[in-house]
Amino acid sequence: MPSVRVVVQARMSSNRLPGKSLLPIGGIPAAILAALRVRNPRWHVVIATSDHPSDDPLVRAAEAFSVPSVRGPLDDVLGRFLIATHGLADDAVIVRLTGDNVLPDARLVGEAVDAFRQRGCAYLYTWSPALDVPYGLSVEVFRASALRQAAVHTASEADREHVTPWIWRNYGRTLHRPRALPRGYGRLRCTIDTLDDYLRVEKAFAYAPDPRAAHWIDLCRRLALDPATPRATVPAKDVGGATHGTLVLGTAQLGMAYGIANRTGEPREDEATAIVREAVAHGVTHIDTARAYGRSEGRIGQVLAQGVASGVHVVTKLVPMDEVADDSPAGQVRARVDASVFRSCRELRLHRIPTVLVHRAGDRIRWKGAAWQRLKELRHGGVIGRIGVSAERPSEVVEALADADVGHVQFPFNILDWRWQEAGIVEALARRPEAVVHVRSALLQGLLASPDPALWRRVAPDQGEGVLCALEHMRRVLGRESLLDLALAYVRGHPWLHGVVVGVERVEQLRLLVRLFCKPALTRDQIEWVERRRARVPKRLLNPSLWPR
């Protein structure tokens, strides 16, 4: 039978929680404990770390516990895996673990290896948003031959940092849900990326006489009983191998009084901080902001600097440049882009912004493409991850998706908005499956969640009450608990979107959103029923900038 090698990757220079590999759990450094917990006569275990001097203490700790280690390039984890598996036959089985995920044990690894062999697959993984598995309870299994193929064929920094993306892109993925895992445990967080994570995981191990022998399912139960563990987390999707929460926190409200239904204005500093922290704790992975949103970026940056940045993907937008003339020199336009991006970096306290969008879709091609070209250069230089477009009209989205450099699109979409159904958006998105899709205005600034006829009359004096009555009828027929539930369930029922941007002014509103996002979305049949019965409202009702003031 082919041999098995378990490789635990670890390093000291984590950007999120430096030195976490040596944080003690039951008196044992975390990364060392991760290796000791998976020891078994059936396989060989090795820690793969870097040859950078910062990892010398980690190697000494491994030696103290008689755990073998190998060293390789700091910035090429795939290269380290090649060193750690050198000399194995091509059909040898490789198990990838990480030193910040200490719950997996030899039982879980054995189950994953057996499933890998029984199912005859090329790559097996125990975690996915679709599996309802705690984040961090992850075991990856593949052959040495696949690892070597990846090393030859990919030069991508992301592929080499995360080791397996090239493998599952080319060989496919087989998902395996641990058999003993109760349903509903996907809300748990088992990884150690922040100080809060560490304290929670360390507490779960505190009951065990020997942290090396504690059963992974018992540890999960301890985490589930912890009062600090959220009772629910927003559903997530797998987008290109990354976790993407379907609720995107909109933050215009955090920087200014925003929305026709806003009754409380801009939240206090402590409330804004609590909103962001609660959102992350409840599984929100993406936060949407903009230079134009007042103090929003600065408030987000303050929270991220407190150690909750792990797994948070910030999407911001360039400052609107409406006043810059179309014939402005390219140098002037590029300087405005730089000023906006680097101000966002400062406010968000990030060296690299995951996604930057042009605030006006037309800015992608204005000034002979000077602003867009500068964004591409900043992306190439590592200052930005993705670049994309915030659009208003369907034609803008279709045009943007024809540009291969557009990696993210955001546009308004809601239960009344008939324009997108007729514009070929679904077909355009199908041609760009790698592009991230966010929709905003799902609630039309809160109007669609309001049962107040006076508010509807204010926005649409002629049609408002009639539209409200129609929505209320749909709500009753479909059995939704509120207009808010109906509006969100309609939007969430479209499989082509990855996230719905919704803003809040209070923590209580956020908790309500999380609960509603956990409810079933409308089915395809229900969506079609709604679309047959909804009124074709005028475009001015769909654009808040055209509402009466």
Q: Are residues 405 and 296 part of one domain?
A: yes
484 part of a folded domain: no
459 part of a folded domain: no
pLDDT tens-place string over residues 134-153:
989 999 999 999 999 999 99
User: Which H or E run contains 97?
Assistant: strand 93-98
486 part of a folded domain: no
Distances (CA, A) of 121 to 146, 214, 253: 12, 30, 48
467 part of a folded domain: no
From 196, 225, 254, give the residue that closes a domain: 225
Q: Are residues 345 and 252 part of one domain?
A: yes
Q: Are residues 211 and 192 part of one domain?
A: yes
Q: What residues contact residue 288 under an 8 Å CB cut-off, 6+ apart?
A: 248, 249, 250, 251, 315, 316, 410, 438, 440, 501
Mean pLDDT of the chain: 93
Q: Tell me if 541 sits within 8 A of 416, measured CB to CB.
A: yes
Compute the distance between CA of residue 455 and CA of residue 460 in angstroms, rounded to an integer: 9
Number of domains in the chain: 2
Q: Are residues 117 and 34 part of one domain?
A: yes
Q: Are residues 132 and 268 part of one domain?
A: no
Q: Are residues 305 and 361 part of one domain?
A: yes
453 part of a folded domain: no
- pLDDT, residue 308, reads 66
From 225, 246, 268, give the residue that closes a domain: 225
Structure-token match 């809040």, residue found: 504
Q: Are residues 273 and 208 part of one domain?
A: no
CATH number at residue 93: 3.90.550.10
Whole-number CA gyration radius for the chain: 25
| Domain hosting residue 113, numbered range | 4-225
From 184, 206, 225, give the residue that closes a domain: 225
Q: Are residues 432 and 285 part of one domain?
A: yes
How many CB atoms sit inside 10 A of residue 359's CB? Answer: 19
Compute the distance between CA of residue 168 and CA of residue 238 in angstroms, rounded to an integer: 13
Q: Are residues 64 and 38 part of one domain?
A: yes
pLDDT tens-place string over residues 363-373:
999 999 999 99
Could you give the dihedral angle defined by the CA atoms of residues 188, 194, 196 and 199, in that order, rounded to the nearest 10 degrees? Answer: 90
Q: Tell me if 94 sits within 8 A of 85, measured CB to CB.
A: yes
211 part of a folded domain: yes
- pLDDT, residue 471, reads 96
How many CB atoms sit inside 10 A of residue 79's CB? Answer: 17
Q: Of 130, 143, 107, nearest to 4 (Cα)?
A: 143
Phi, psi angle pair for 243, to nearest 5°: -80, 130
264 part of a folded domain: yes
- Is it the case that residue 199 has pLDDT exceeding 90? yes
Q: What residues contact residue 227 under an 8 Å CB cut-off, 6+ apart?
A: none
Compute the distance between CA of residue 128 and CA of residue 73 in angstroms, rounded to an integer: 28
Q: Are residues 140 and 66 part of one domain?
A: yes
475 part of a folded domain: no
Helix axes 216-225, 195-205, angle to 10 degrees: 120
CATH number at residue 398: 3.20.20.100
Q: Are residues 276 and 218 part of one domain?
A: no
Q: Are residues 180 and 282 part of one domain?
A: no
pLDDT tens-place string over residues 223-262:
999 988 888 889 998 887 788 999 999 999 998 766 555 5
- pLDDT, residue 381, reads 94
